Amino acid sequence: MADLGADVIKIEPPGRGDPVRTWGMQVDGQSLWWSIHGRNKRSVTINMRHPDARAMVLELAAHVDVVVENYRPGQLEKWGLAPADFEAANPSLVLVRISGYGQTGPEASRSGFGVIGEAKGGVRHLTGYPPEVSDLPPVRNGIAIGDDVSGFYGAIGALAGVIEQRASGAKSLKLIDVALGESVMTLLEGQLPEYGKLGIVRQPTGSWVSSAAPSNAYKSSDGAWVLVAGNSDPLFKSLCEIMGQPELATDPRFKNNQVRCENVIELDRLIGQWVGSLTADEALEKLDEVNIPSSKIYTIADIAADEQYRARKMVTEVEDPHFGTVLHPGVVPVVAGLDRDAQIRWTGPDIGEHTDEVLAEVLGLDEDAIAQRRSSGLV
């Protein structure tokens, strides 16, 4: 939302700030991730243990459209910041609460962890090899998909809530309750009715597609993985030709998709041999010539070098006061007509960098009042 132009005020504890500031690789004690994670946000400190913290949070809440929080359910209430308190301060507020299990139900008060939400949301089970291929456990995504999807639903709830509050002139707080596992569970397509009606429990299919062959990743001579999806009969014929083995297209083991699926291990071995005899670039050039959907599995180095990403400024160089020039991803989605670089107004701010500015602009405090809050340890 900050990337799209919203004024996002991040509240942090004075001193160490948000723990996310220490995540990932550091340069001189500064996190490179924070340069992105904090960008376009204003940082304001509040010491939640100070007796005036509650009043200051509600004072800020009176001036905004949306408050987002992700404490364990009950924590805000302990601080005297229940939904009713926010509603008294700002009756048209949208309050977005993100938690592991949601604000209600028998497990509401349990801590939420991304990796457990992904497991309970049913995605982890599918992210692995079937037991007949490997006995290794299902892999992690390597990214925080549970946190990401909860964040997306939080943003959607916030924006939809603002539209509804403004359209209806509603005078009561709208509470949006996002649960991590539930968010992940929405990605499961038709699995719930398929299980309920037919008893089907979907199983992981590794790196291939169980109903279409060939469609897999194969290692090139220079150690990259190349995706090849040549599973229609005409595409398979083209593939056999560029492999120099046109006879495979009419081979009884491979002549149509059904038999190809039955003989997929041998088929994948043959394609793997061919891809393995070429560099990734060589293989992709040949596949592209005959329009077989294909791609290298990109590492971050491939992403940084990709022409399309560069042309659209999805990979772009940004000046960060701590690091000098750093690579950032562009703002997604693209809003046509806006300069994608200019949308990155600033990189991750220092702790409390905008405290004075926000207290003056948003709360209308003068220098003395700000100094008093600072000297009392509130900010």
SS (H, E, C) 344-375: CCCCCCCCCCCHHHHHHHCCCCCHHHHHHHHH
Q: How far is the CB of 317 from a second copy (least distance, A)?
A: 8
- CA nearest 83: which of 63, 69, 64? 69
- CA nearest 82: which of 63, 97, 100, 92? 97
Q: Which of 40, 46, 60, 153 is close enough to bind a second copy by CB under 8 A?
A: 153
Pairing mode, strands 26-27 and 324-329: unpaired
Binding flag, residue 145, a second copy (CB under 8 A):
yes
Determine the Cα–Cα distance for residues 173 and 248; give it in Å rounded to an integer.
Answer: 66
- CA nearest 101: which of 24, 161, 180, 187? 180
Q: Between residues 13 and 329, which has the closer beta carbon with respect to a second copy? A: 329
Active site residue 366: no
Site track 37-76 with a second copy (rule: CB under 8 A), x = hit: x---------------------------------------
CB 24 within 8 A of CB 334: no
Query: What φ, ψ does residue 65 adopt, rounded to 5°?
Result: -85, -35
Please list every residue from 317 through 336 that binds a second copy, using CB under 8 A. 317, 323, 325-330, 332-336
Binding flag, residue 290, a second copy (CB under 8 A):
no
Q: How far is the CB of 35 from a second copy (least distance, A)?
A: 6
Catalytic residue among 18, 28, 135, 147: 147
Q: How far is the CB of 54 from a second copy (least distance, A)?
A: 22
Count of alpha carbons within 13 angstroms of residue 182, beta-carbon side: 15
User: Which span sits near a second copy by CB under 8 A: 7-15, 45-53, 74-82, 168-176?
Assistant: 168-176
Q: Which of 138, 170, 290, 360 is close enough to bind a second copy by CB under 8 A?
A: 138
User: Which span sits near a second copy by CB under 8 A: 70-78, 212-220, 352-360, 361-369?
Assistant: 212-220
Q: Which of 48, 64, 175, 259 is close enough to bind a second copy by CB under 8 A?
A: 175
Binding flag, residue 304, a second copy (CB under 8 A):
yes
Number of residues lying near a second copy (CB under 8 A): 142
Determine the Cα–Cα distance for residues 204 and 184; give it in Å rounded to an integer.
Answer: 16
Determine the Cα–Cα distance for residues 23 and 30; give it in Å rounded to an integer.
Answer: 9
Q: Between residues 126 and 259, which has the closer beta carbon with respect to a second copy? A: 126
Binding flag, residue 8, a second copy (CB under 8 A):
no
Determine the Cα–Cα distance for residues 151 and 181; give it in Å rounded to an integer.
Answer: 12
Binding flag, residue 82, a second copy (CB under 8 A):
no
Q: Any idea which residues carry the catalytic annotation?
A: 147
